Structure 1
Amino acid sequence: MSEFSKSLSVSTSGLQAQSSRLRHLSENISNADTPGYRRKTIDFKTAFTGSEGASAVEVGKVSLDDRPLEKIHDPSHPMADETGHYQGSNVDLLIELADAREAQRSYEANLKMFEQARQMSSSLMQLLRR
């Protein structure tokens, strides 16, 4: 496998990993007001491809955040207990937005790397044709 192909596969794996991360972050943000919802987190692993000699990013397991759920006082809520409290979610919108911005920038960096490798490969092919 050529070095260009290796760099393309590495950046592609990064794009897929950040895309998956953004999907889970958007699920967290959309469920921030859902009672009992636990924040989802995703792990990344390094995947080594022995025959190609390149490493890539691989999405690990999705886990639920074990922080305690927010206790909300609203006696009129249908899920409220005898004290008038119910459990909200443990999603902090500030953290989710910061993580989304980081994932977006990582995605853009991988996209830029992919585009640079593609342009270099194209330029090399043009030079070889002359």
Structure 2
Amino acid sequence: MALEDPLFGIHPAALQLQRQRMELIAANIANADTPGFQARDIDFRQVLAATQAAAAPQRSNPAHLGGAPQLSVGERAEPSFRVPMQPAQDGNTVDVQVEQAQFADAALRYRASMGFLDARIKGLITALTGQ
């Protein structure tokens, strides 16, 4: 069973997106002293909203239930430049405290998705083995 299986919902793709986001934030922190460096980030909510709008199921009857949208990270996960609160004179827009807080937030969301996947897998094992 692959992690792309509908049983796991959006969590595998959310893990991939949060990993990509943490890599960007780590690059921002690493370049905090680089003149002219522009901090970038991915807006998870925007990616999710775009995915849900694109994956809205077509129903032939309003009483039918819709399927769960699949999160596709691909082209929708374009990083954007972070708006600086106070840019440096050398043109660098990295605020290390903001980046650290955003990294902690992304790590927490990554861990939450891992927890959901872990619980789902344990539930499937219990259903299969009866233990």
Please classify the TM superposition score into its range, dividing by the shorter chain length: 0.7 to 0.9
Matched-pair identity in %: 24
- Return the alpha-carbon distance in structure 1 between the equivalents of residues 83 and 97 of structure 2: 18
1:124 deviates by 0.6
Counterpart residue identity of residue 63, structure 1: S
Cα deviation digits, residues 3-48 of structure 1 (max 9, x gap)? xx43424111111111011000000000000000011121231224
TM-score by length of 2: 0.72
String of CA shifts for 1:24-83, please: whole Å, max 9, x gaps.
000000000000001112123122454992224435211223547411xxxxxxxxxxxx
Residue of structure 1 equivalent to 2:61: none
CA deviation after TM superposition for structure 1 residue 106, in Å: 0.5
Equivalent-residue separation in structure 2 for 1:27 and 1:89 (angstroms): 13
Say what the alpha-carbon RMSD is for the aligned residues. Answer: 2.4
Task: Give how far 1:117 is off.
Answer: 0.3
Deviation at 1:94?
0.3
Q: Which amino acid aligns with 1:53?
A: G
Match of residue 119 from structure 1: 122
Separation in 1, partners of 2:113, 2:70: 12
Decide which structure has greater strand share: 1
The offset of 1:88, in angstroms, is 4.3
Q: List runs of 5+ in structure 1 lacking aligned partners.
A: 72-86
- Matched-pair contact (CA < 8 Å) for 1:42–1:61: yes
Whichever of the two has the greater Rg, that structure is 1
Q: Paired residue for 2:68, among 51, 54, 58? A: 54
TM-score using structure 1 length: 0.72
Residue deviations 1:78-100 (CA, integer Å, cap 9, x gap) = xxxxxxxxx14110000000001
Tell me how far apart the structure 2 counterparts of residues 9 and 102 of structure 1 sit (CA, whole Å): 21
Report how many aligned residue pairs link the two structures: 109
Which residue of 84, 101, 106 maps to 1:103?
106
Kindly provide the amino acid, as one letter, of the partner of residue 79 in structure 2: V
Q: Which runs of 5+ in 2 are unaligned?
A: 59-65
